[in-house]
Each structure stands twice: as C-alpha cells, then as structure tokens.
C-alpha cells in the first residue's frame, strides 16, 4: 500500500514537469494553426470528383484565379492584370500577368488558362460555375479570350471561383488526374505539403509567389470535430485561428484577453419562403399579413446578437446587380392585422418548417411568436435535415426557412426558386415563369440596366409576398490577437497571404 | 490441440454474427429517408444527374440484391469507396486503426494498472478509508459521461494547468488524456470487480487453511489469493477492451484523434453507407477475436476450464 501511495505521489510530482505542454505545442511565430470542423480533402477542382466548400480552405491558397474574390465579395485583379468585355457581352479578354510561376517552377501561360477553362467547363462543376462558357481562344502567350454561348454578366465571379484556379497543363499531362489530386500545384501563395486523413492539412509558403513571399511560412489546418475542443484549444494556444465560431462564442471570445473575432457578411441569404400554390398560401392578403407581421430586427437580435445585415429584398447587398433602389416592406402589426382581416384565413394551423436543432429553429420560434401576435396560429415544424430537404424538394410546406447560398455572388441567384427544371408545375409560384424570364434577360445586361431588372424581380417578390427576406448570413472567425490581417471571408475560407504576426 | 479446434469453431461462429449485424445495418441505412445521390450532388443537381449517380452506385437495384453484391465484394476484401470523400474503405481503415488501438490499449493499461491494485487493496483493507474512497471513486466514474469528463479534464489539465495539449496526435503528450477518459469507466469496473473477487477469494477455505498453517498475510495474498481472484477480472478486461473500441467514438471526437471512431461518426452523419458498413464489419471481427483471445487466456489462467467440453 505504501508503495502505491509512493508511486502516486511521485507521479504527482513528475507530471508538473510537463507544465506548459499546451503552450509548448504552439507554433513558432512564422507558423499558424487554423482549426476547422469540416474536412477538406479534394485539392484539385478540375477532378471528376468535384470539390466543395471546405476544400476552398486549401484551393483558395494553393491556386490563384485570373481574378481574386476578396473577403467582402469584391473582385480584384490577380493572374489577369485586367480584362475587357465585348459589347455583345459574349467575349471576355484577359491580359495575363507575365513571369507568374507555378509551384514547380514552370511559368504560367495562356495554355494553362485554356486548359483550366476547357477542363473545368466539362467537369461536374462547369455548369454551375462557368455558366454559358463556350470556348477559350489563345491570342498569344499572355492573352486569352473566353467566349460565352450567351451573355452572362456574372461570369467574372465564376472566373474567381474555386473552379477558376489555374492548373498547370504540362504538370497534368505528366501526372494525370490522380497525380494532380495527390500532389496539387498552382500559382497560389501556398504550396500543398501533406494531408493526413482525418487529422490535418499542411501548407507551406511559396517564396516565388508573384505577390511576394507570404509572411506566414507554415499553415496547419487541424481537423477537430468537437467545437468545445476547438474553443479550449484556441484559449490554450494550441490553435491560432478558429473557423466559424457561433455568434455567441464570438461574444465570449471578445471578453477574453488575447483572442479577437471578425464577423462579416456571407454570400447566403436567409428567407422565409411561403407556399403560394395551395391552401391558405394562395391568398395574397394572408401572405402579405405574414410579411408585415415579421420583425426582422428582433430575429437578428435573437440569433445573431444584431450582427447580421437585414435584407430588404431577396438579394444580398454584396451581390453584383443589387437593386439598392428598392424599399422593403416595413414591420407593421396593424397592417398585418388588416391584411389578415381581409384574407380568407379561418384560424387554421400555419407551419414554419426548419431544421431541428439549428439556429433556424430559434428563428422559427421568434417568427411563431410574431405571427401569433397578429392572430395567425403558427406552429414550428422542426425536422431532421433529410426530411427538410425532401419537403423543400417537393414544396410540401406552408412556409420554410431557407438558407440560400450563392457561389456566384450575383443577383442572378434570385431566380433559383423559379427555375423551371427544379420543381414540379403543381407547386409553381403563379408568376414564376415571368420572374425566370426577367432573370434570364438580366444576364445579358451590364451596370445600372441590370439593377433595374433585378429591382423589378425583387419588387414582384415583395408585392406577391412569395418570400420574406430576413437577413444576410454571417461568417465569423476567432483568432489570436497577435495575428494581423485575419478577416472573415464571405465564402467562409481565408486568404493566408494577408496574415502576419505582429 | 483442443484450443485450436475451439478457436476455429469460435471463428466460424463469427460468420452468422457478421451476416446478421451487416444485414440489419444495411436495412436500417436503406430505410432512412432522403436521396443519397442528391445528398452527394447537392440541391442544384438535375433529376438526370441524380438518376445517373443512383445507377452508378447501384442504388436503383432491390435491397436484397444490393446487400448480396456488397457482401460478395466484401469477401474479396473490396469494401467499396466512400460516397462522400471517395477514399477506399479498407486502406482508410488500416490507416486509422492503429490510432484507435493505441488509445484503447493505453486506456486498458491505465484502467488495469491502477484499478486492479486499488481493488485488491480496498478488499484487503475492507471498510477502511481507502475502501470507502475507492467506492466513492467508482461511483463517480460510473456516473460521469465521457464527453463531460473529457471536457472537464481538458479545462483542468490543458487550460488551467497547461500540462497537456487539448487535442491532436502531434506529440506523445496527446496520448495521455484520451486513454484516461476512455479508460475511466473501465477503471471503475476494474476496481469494483477486483475488490469483489478478492473478497470472495479471501473468505475461501483454502485461504483460511493457509493462514492456519502460519503463512504470513503477505504470502497468503500474493501466493494464494491474487491468481484466483484475477480469473473473473481477466474476463472483464476482454469485455472492457471491446467496449473501449466502441467508446472510442466519443473520445476520438473530443480529442480529435483520427481513429476509426471519428471515421464512423462522420460516415453516419453523412449517410456514407460503404464506410459505415465496412467499419462495422471490421469492429465486429475485432470484438469477436478479442473475445476469443480472452477465452483462451482464461483457459490458460484457470486450469479448471476445459475448452474441449
């Protein structure tokens, strides 16, 4: 017994020798560890396997596009110093930067751009991101022409998307699809080093990057599923940056020494989509009653601590073609009651469908309280994710909270709910065909003319109360406040080249 | 050679177990609502693309046909590729298994290395302060769920004392806390089991006889009581080892260990049928083999056990 006690006491004395274990693991000042929940694993966007949102964490840093998508959703020159658009909107001419090198030392030329666009357009993401792409012409080594089959004003956003990351044609011919996926190279500020499945991805600074060598030399993307562990790790110094903490967590971080947060607008818009094809939803006065009864500020305070941007129309302010001339529908309880009195509503249940356990369940509960206040017998229908998707697909709902994200940061995405191939005609919005045709016409316009078209569409949606735009989605990041340049990007990834230690 | 015959018989018995487990799982996964192809392709996919992927994945065939095809491929060690990330299941499992085994073995060493001596000591010193203390610890460890205990230990050892890293597999220090959390429940079992077993043994006649013959208390415990008291404990170790592999699902998630537990939980979340099926088959085999090994060890430790019968 004495021996056991002795061993335990010895252990208690020896263990403190490991003190600072967490801090010791903290990376040196030219390295950063970013902790994430999602698992990036596809590092080659041209692959037949495609790629998704989490892969952007790697893709956005290993590859450069002709144009760069900045954190606030704006476009800036990247591999193309400038570009022009023909008068008919069909031909985009890109003038490439000279002396840009791939991470294997080869120079990037127009051949690589043509290879990327030809292969990307033929792949699984081509139809979604290279919309209306027809072909690519090489004018000379540093000039390419991209020709569209019909005009699409948002095409530059596709150029700046994950699919637009320029790949090396020569390297592809040497290693093939699988080789490129296993050891990707681009012209980006960071070189891919390794991916340890389920554990981490490592990137290393590309010293010959055309913008100059990045300040942070090593980036480790640690994959940690448990959010509590992420928070504790950030506090402990195991991680330097935490991706997408909740707004409540951001509030807690802001009260802690040594941790800062950044909150920005994402490209998603949160709306309440109303049924307009069956039941009480066919009554315009009822839909208008719902529209006027919703206090968006209260919702924003309840779920985002007031941090999100309120939407007046079903288009994010950062989208190209945003119609800032349109005024939204104000919260007005008396008007809502008046609309309800004029409607054929007889007190039946009105459900608000959302995903159970998500933020949107809270949103639904706030809306429920607001609708009850005007006399609508609202019920929250919180369901699992699969059921939610099924109900959306079949449009089997009274109203449904929707988080509509857009990779192409453009007002064109307003037409998503009205695209003919997506839904059965029996669940069609009465003016869907008209809206879709207008959106199609908007694709061939530039500048203020586009704003007019999308403004008209937004006005129809408000007049018909098909959707109630609530708020712009938010994107967040928490980080060690000795780091500079960390910013929440609208697409949820980060551009490590802007980061540096103070 | 009776043990070899016994081992073969037990291994053969694994076949119906695997068939039952996989069939039940296959049916449950197939009955879950939602369209897997649409889940993989996203909401923007056209019905044609969804139908094409369903065809490629064989999801347009009847359930029984799909199950039989899967099991035939599995017999050829082809467990398919992940629907979500595209990796092959077998190499991925082989890559992750060592982490799970390492944490599970360390958890078992922690639980047995501390639990058995404490259990024996509290039996020898029954109704002492140590005995009451052990009983309290056992109740405490049994009643605390792993996810809560894990977080509390992270706060204490990582955030407050700065002794250990919060998660990961970068250094050997990362492998201290996870085995402790994973083994906490087993530790409680070991203390309780070894205490009870020792109390039974020291009341036996042959122990009384040994004492009557003038053997010292130390000799009686060390040479006569311990070996016999360990027989049920050995069985418990085997059962606990199988349990720790299951428990690794939670622990690996908390401590970000890329083992089969975290792989399984991600696959279940994503309805990644090939990964779930493959992982469950491997775990069933591992647990079956562990139980067999435990039975064989018991036969070695206790000569009264006759495997032939």
How many CB atoms are located within 10 Å of the residue A164 CB? 27
**Cα–Cα distance between B50 and B134 in angstroms, integer?**
59
Helices B89-124 and B260-269 cross at an angle (nearest 10°) of: 120
The pLDDT score that the predictor gives to residue A372 is 97
Mean pLDDT comparison of A26-30, A80-84, B200-204, highest-scoring range? A80-84
Cα torsion through B103, B106, B111, B114, rounded to 10: -150
Residues 6+ apart with CB under 8 A from A316: A73, A265, A267, A268, A269, A309, A322, A406, A409, A472
Average of pLDDT values for B115-135?
A: 93
Average of pLDDT values for A136-141?
A: 96
Average of pLDDT values for B18-36?
A: 82
Rounded percentage of chain B residues whose pLDDT exceeds 90? 37
Q: How confident is the model at residue B33 (pLDDT cuts 50, 70, 90)?
A: low
To test the contact with chain B by mutation, choose from A226, A233, A234, A256 the residue with the greatest count of B C-beta atoms within 10 A, namely A226
Yes or no: say if A76 and A262 are a contact pair by the CB < 8 Å rule. Answer: no
Check CB contact of A5 with chain B, cutoff 8 Å: no
Check CB contact of A225 with chain B, cutoff 8 Å: yes
pLDDT in tens, B206-255: 888 988 888 888 888 888 888 888 888 888 888 888 888 878 888 998 99
Check CB contact of A123 with chain B, cutoff 8 Å: no
**Cα–Cα distance between A357 and A249 in angstroms, integer?**
17
Backbone phi and psi for residue B139, each to the nearest 5 degrees, phi listed first: -65, -40
**A:128-167 residues touching chain B, CB 8 A cutoff:** 128
To test the contact with chain A by mutation, choose from B56, B158, B253 the residue with the greatest count of A C-beta atoms within 10 A, namely B158
Does the distance separating the beta carbons of B32 and A386 come in below 8 Å? yes
Q: Which helix H or strand E contains A438, and what residues bound it?
A: helix A432-442
Residues 6+ apart with CB under 8 A from B157: B163, B164, B177
Query: How close B262 gets to chain A, by Cα (Å)?
Result: 8
Contact residues on chain B for A228, CB-CB shorter than 8 A: 151, 154, 254
pLDDT in tens, A65-106: 999 999 999 999 999 999 999 989 999 999 999 999 999 999
Contact residues on chain A for B38, CB-CB shorter than 8 A: 389, 393
**Cα–Cα distance between B122 and A317 in angstroms, integer?**
70
Among B46, B130, B166, whose Cβ lies nearest the Cβ of A421?
B46
Does the distance separating the beta carbons of A236 and B162 come in below 8 Å? yes
- Residue A19 reports pLDDT greater than 80: no
Residue whose entry in the numeric block shows the structure tokens 């050997």: B172
Q: Which residue of B has its CA nearest to A25?
A: B165
Higher pLDDT, A448 or A280: A280
> Exposed (0-12), middle (13-18) or buried (19+): which is A6, by Cβ within 10 Å?
exposed
Range B95-256 has CATH code 1.10.3720.10: yes
Per residue in A194-230, is it b (16+ CB within 10 Å) or e — as a string? Answer: ebebbbbbbbbbbeebbeeebbbbbbbbbbbbbebbb
Check CB contact of B117 with chain A, cutoff 8 Å: yes
Strands A218-223 and A200-205: antiparallel
Check CB contact of A421 with chain B, cutoff 8 Å: yes
Check CB contact of B122 with chain A, cutoff 8 Å: no
Contact residues on chain A for B180, CB-CB shorter than 8 A: none
Does the distance separating the beta carbons of B173 and A4 come in below 8 Å? no
How many CB atoms are located within 10 Å of the residue B214 CB? 7
- Residue A320 reports pLDDT greater than 60: yes
Check CB contact of A257 with chain B, cutoff 8 Å: no
Check CB contact of A28 with chain B, cutoff 8 Å: no
Average of pLDDT values for A376-383?
A: 96
Residue whose entry in the numeric block shows the structure tokens 């792409």: A133
Backbone phi and psi for residue A95, each to the nearest 5 degrees, phi listed first: -105, 110
Q: How confident is the model at residue B109 (pLDDT cuts 50, 70, 90)?
A: very high
Give, in order, the Cα–Cα distances in Å from A353 to each of A60, A348, A387. Answer: 35, 16, 10
Check CB contact of B130 with chain A, cutoff 8 Å: yes
Among A232, A389, A392, whose Cβ lies nearest the Cβ of B166?
A232
Check CB contact of B161 with chain A, cutoff 8 Å: yes
The pLDDT score that the predictor gives to residue B141 is 92
| Region of poorest pLDDT, from A243-257, A340-354, B123-137, B290-304 | B290-304
Backbone phi and psi for residue A285, each to the nearest 5 degrees, phi listed first: -60, -35
Please list the residues that pair with A69 across neighbouring strands: A75
Yes or no: say if A159 and A132 are a contact pair by the CB < 8 Å rule. Answer: no
Residue A349, SS3 per DSSP: strand
Higher pLDDT, A112 or B45: A112
Query: How close B4 gets to chain A, by Cα (Å)?
Result: 38
How many CB atoms are located within 10 Å of the residue A337 CB? 17
* DSSP conformational letter for A92: E
> Exposed (0-12), middle (13-18) or buried (19+): which is A82, by Cβ within 10 Å?
exposed
- Residue A362 reports pLDDT greater than 70: yes
Q: How confident is the model at residue A11 (pLDDT cuts 50, 70, 90)?
A: low
Q: How many CB pairs under 8 A join A and B?
A: 129
What's chain A's average pLDDT? 90
A464: number of CA atoms within 13 Å, CB side? 21
Check CB contact of A197 with chain B, cutoff 8 Å: yes
Q: How confident is the model at residue B269 (pLDDT cuts 50, 70, 90)?
A: confident
Average of pLDDT values for A1-22?
A: 49
The pLDDT score that the predictor gives to residue B45 is 57
The pLDDT score that the predictor gives to residue B99 is 93
To test the contact with chain B by mutation, choose from A49, A130, A229, A417 the residue with the greatest count of B C-beta atoms within 10 A, namely A229
How many CB atoms are located within 10 Å of the residue A277 CB? 16
pLDDT in tens, B54-65: 787 777 888 889
The pLDDT score that the predictor gives to residue A16 is 44
Q: Which residue of B has its CA nearest to A226?
A: B254
Q: Which residue of A has its CA nearest to B261?
A: A198
| Residue closest to A116 by CA, chosen among A65, A167, A178 | A167
- Residue B85 reports pLDDT greater than 80: no
Residue A468, SS3 per DSSP: strand
Rounded percentage of chain A residues whose pLDDT exceeds 70? 94
Contact residues on chain A for B262, CB-CB shorter than 8 A: 198, 225
What's chain B's average pLDDT? 86
pTM of the shown model: 0.84
Q: Which helix H or strand E contains A482, and what residues bound it?
A: none
Please list the residues that pair with A260 across neighbouring strands: A479
Average of pLDDT values for A294-312?
A: 95
Q: Which residue of B has its CA nearest to A33?
A: B168
**Cα–Cα distance between B130 and A87 in angstroms, integer?**
89
Yes or no: say if A232 and A209 are a contact pair by the CB < 8 Å rule. Answer: no
The pLDDT score that the predictor gives to residue A13 is 44
Q: How confident is the model at residue B307 (pLDDT cuts 50, 70, 90)?
A: low
* DSSP conformational letter for A358: S
How many CB atoms are located within 10 Å of the residue A362 CB? 14
Check CB contact of B44 with chain A, cutoff 8 Å: yes
Yes or no: say if A168 and A185 are a contact pair by the CB < 8 Å rule. Answer: yes
Contact residues on chain B for A25, CB-CB shorter than 8 A: 165, 168, 170-171, 173
Contact residues on chain B for A229, CB-CB shorter than 8 A: 151, 154, 166-167, 254-256
Among B39, B117, B170, whose Cβ lies nearest the Cβ of A4?
B117
pLDDT in tens, B160-192: 998 999 998 888 999 999 999 999 999 999 999
Contact residues on chain A for B117, CB-CB shorter than 8 A: 4
- Residue A28 reports pLDDT greater than 80: no
Give, in order, the Cα–Cα distances in Å from B19 to each of A124, B62, B67, B239, B277. Answer: 37, 18, 10, 22, 11
Contact residues on chain B for A15, CB-CB shorter than 8 A: 163
């Amino acid at each position: 017994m004495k021996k056991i006690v002795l061993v335990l006491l010895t252990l208690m004395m020896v263990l403190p020798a490991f003190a600072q274990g967490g801090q010791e693991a903290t990376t040196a000042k030219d390295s950063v560890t970013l902790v994430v929940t999602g698992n990036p694993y596809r590092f080659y966007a041209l692959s037949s396997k495609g790629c998704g949102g989490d892969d952007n964490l790697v893709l956005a840093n290993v590859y450069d596009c002709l144009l760069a998508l900045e954190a606030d959703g704006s476009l800036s020159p990247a591999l193309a110093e400038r570009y022009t658009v023909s008068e008919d909107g069909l031909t985009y001419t890109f003038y490439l930067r000279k002396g840009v090198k791939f991470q294997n030392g080869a120079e990037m030329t127009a051949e690589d751009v043509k290879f990327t666009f030809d292969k990307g357009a033929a792949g699984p993401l081509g139809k979604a991101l290279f919309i209306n792409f027809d072909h690519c012409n090489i004018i000379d080594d540093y000039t390419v022409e991209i020709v569209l089959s019909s005009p699409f004003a948002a095409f530059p956003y596709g150029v700046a998307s994950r699919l637009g990351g320029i790949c090396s044609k020569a390297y592809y011919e040497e290693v093939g699809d699988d080789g490129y996926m296993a050891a990707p190279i681009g012209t980006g500020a960071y070189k891919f080093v390794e991916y340890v499945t389920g554990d981490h991805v490592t990137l290393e600074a590309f010293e010959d990057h055309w913008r100059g060598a990045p300040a942070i030399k090593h980036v480790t993307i640690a994959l940690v599923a448990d959010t509590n562990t992420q928070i504790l790790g950030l506090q402990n110094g195991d991680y330097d940056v935490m991706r997408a903490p909740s707004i409540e967590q951001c509030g807690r971080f802001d009260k802690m020494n040594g941790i800062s947060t950044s909150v920005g607008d994402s490209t998603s818009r949160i709306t309440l989509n109303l049924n307009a094809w069956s039941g009480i939803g066919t009554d315009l006065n009822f839909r208008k009653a719902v529209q006027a009864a919703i206090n968006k500020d209260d919702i924003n305070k309840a779920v985002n601590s007031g941090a999100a941007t309120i939407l007046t129309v079903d288009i994010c302010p950062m989208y190209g073609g945003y119609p800032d001339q349109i005024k939204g529908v104000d919260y007005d309880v008396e008007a809502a009651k008046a609309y309800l009195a004029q409607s054929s509503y007889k007190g039946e249940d009105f459900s608000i469908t959302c995903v159970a356990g998500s933020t949107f369940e809270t949103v639904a509960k706030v809306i429920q309280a607001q609708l009850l206040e005007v006399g609508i017998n609202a019920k929250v229908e919180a369901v699992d994710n699969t059921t939610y998707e099924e109900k959306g697909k079949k449009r089997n709902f009274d109203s449904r909270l929707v988080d509509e994200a857009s990779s192409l940061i453009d007002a064109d995405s307003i037409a998503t709910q009205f695209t003919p191939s997506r839904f059965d005609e029996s669940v069609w919005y009465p003016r869907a065909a008209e809206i879709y045709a207008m959106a199609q016409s908007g694709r061939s316009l530039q500048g203020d003319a586009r704003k007019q078209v999308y403004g008209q569409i937004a006005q129809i949606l408000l007049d018909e109360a098909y959707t109630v735009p609530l708020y712009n989605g938010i994107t967040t990041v928490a980080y060690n406040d000795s780091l500079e340049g960390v910013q929440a990007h609208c697409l949820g990834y980060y551009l490590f080249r802007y980061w540096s230690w103070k | 050679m009776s043990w070899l015959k016994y081992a073969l018989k037990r291994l053969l018995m694994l076949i119906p177990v695997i068939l039952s487990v996989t069939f039940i799982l296959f049916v449950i996964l197939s009955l879950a609502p939602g369209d897997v192809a649409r889940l993989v392709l996203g909401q923007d996919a056209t019905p044609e693309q969804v139908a094409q992927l369903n065809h490629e994945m064989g999801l347009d065939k009847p359930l029984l046909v799909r199950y039989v095809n899967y099991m035939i491929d599995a017999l050829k060690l082809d467990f398919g590729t992940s629907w979500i990330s595209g990796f092959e299941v077998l190499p991925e499992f082989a890559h992750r298994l060592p982490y799970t085994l390492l944490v599970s073995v360390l958890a078992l060493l922690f639980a047995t290395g501390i639990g058995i001596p404490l259990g024996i000591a509290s039996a020898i010193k029954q109704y002492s302060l140590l005995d009451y203390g052990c009983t309290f610890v056992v109740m405490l460890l049994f009643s605390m769920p792993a996810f809560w205990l894990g977080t509390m230990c992270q706060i204490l050892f990582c955030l407050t004392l700065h002794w250990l890293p919060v998660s990961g597999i970068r250094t050997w220090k990362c492998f201290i806390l996870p085995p402790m959390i994973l083994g906490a429940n087993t530790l409680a079992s070991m203390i309780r089991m070894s205490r009870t077993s020792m109390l039974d043994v020291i009341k036996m006649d042959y122990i009384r006889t040994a004492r009557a013959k003038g053997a010292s208390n130390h000799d009686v415990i060390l040479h006569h009581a311990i070996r016999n008291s360990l027989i049920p404990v050995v069985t418990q170790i085997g059962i606990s080892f199988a349990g720790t592999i299951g428990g690794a699902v939670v622990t690996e998630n908390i401590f970000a260990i890329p083992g089969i537990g975290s792989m399984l939980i991600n696959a279940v979340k994503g309805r990644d049928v090939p990964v779930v099926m493959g992982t469950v088959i491997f775990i069933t085999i591992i647990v079956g083999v562990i139980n067999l090994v435990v039975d064989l060890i018991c036969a070695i430790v206790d000569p009264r056990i006759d495997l032939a019968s």
